[in-house]
Structure 1
Amino acid sequence: MKVEFESELWVWDARRDETWTFVSLPVDASEEIRARAGGLRRGFGSLRVRATVGGSSWTTSVFPDSGRNAYVLPVKRAIRAAEALTEGDVTAVTVELLDL
């Protein structure tokens, strides 16, 4: 399953040092992922993905966020630097689930 969307980068409220910066997957895509995953999950409810932002691709995991009712994708510092992204920027994202 592959999801393409645009999302705003946000920093996890518990850590404002930009160590934990995320984008949120669309709610409808998150619901479809939950349905397809059917209980297949790793630690913290994560699912393995291949993510692409701009010209950068990497393997990571998405995590369920009950407050947003969506999966969230961490965007590591190296990717943000390579793509010149900061909190509040909106970017195009592609997420391909690896285990589904």
Structure 2
Amino acid sequence: MSGKTGSIVQFRFDAEVIHWRGPSPYFFAPIPAHYGEEIKQVAKLATYGWGVIPVEATIDGVGFRTSLFPKDGSYLLPLKDDVRRKCNLTAGDSISAVIAIRLRG
């Protein structure tokens, strides 16, 4: 479900936590592809460059700020270690998340 309220676009989605084992290991929640298309439509009004989009996210009542990273036509929601500890999350866990994108202008 997505909604636009004033200068904020909000999305609620379910995802499975993945572990990126690259040179800088990190945990992410992949944004479903159909939301990726909607996010692309507002990206120019929210991004500060390099294709990353600042968001406010909430998982299990834990709120945090981060930036979405583009990946394979959609985006990844980075899960900070502090958030993962508070929510007791690791790779393979299912989450329900809400992200809010503040639009400029």
Structure 2, unaligned runs of 5 or more: 1-8
Is the contact made by 2:42 and 2:103 (CA closer than 8 Å) also made in structure 1? Answer: no
TM-score, L = length of structure 2 = 0.82
Q: Which residue, out of 72, 77, 83, partners 2:76?
A: 72
The number of residues matched between the two structures is 96
Secondary structure of the corresponding residue to residue 90 of structure 2: coil
What TM-score, normalized by structure 1, do the two folds share?
A: 0.85
Q: Which runs of 5+ in 1 are unaligned?
A: none
Structure 2 residue 18 is the aligned partner of structure 1 residue 10: yes
Q: Greater strand percent: which structure? A: 2
Give 2:34's aligned residue: 28
Percent identity for Structure 1 against Structure 2: 29
RMSD: 1.8
Query: After the TM superposition, which segments of 4 or more aligned residues of structure 1 sit over 4 Å from their partners?
Result: none
Q: 3-state DSSP class of the match of 1:32? A: helix
Q: Once the two structures are superposed, what CA deviation does each residue of 1:3-56 show, in whole Å capped at 9, x if it has no partner?
A: 10110110113148xx41000111011101101224753243111100001020
Tell me if the contact between 2:10 and 2:101 (Cα under 8 Å) persists in the aligned partners: yes
Counterpart for residue 83 of structure 1: 87
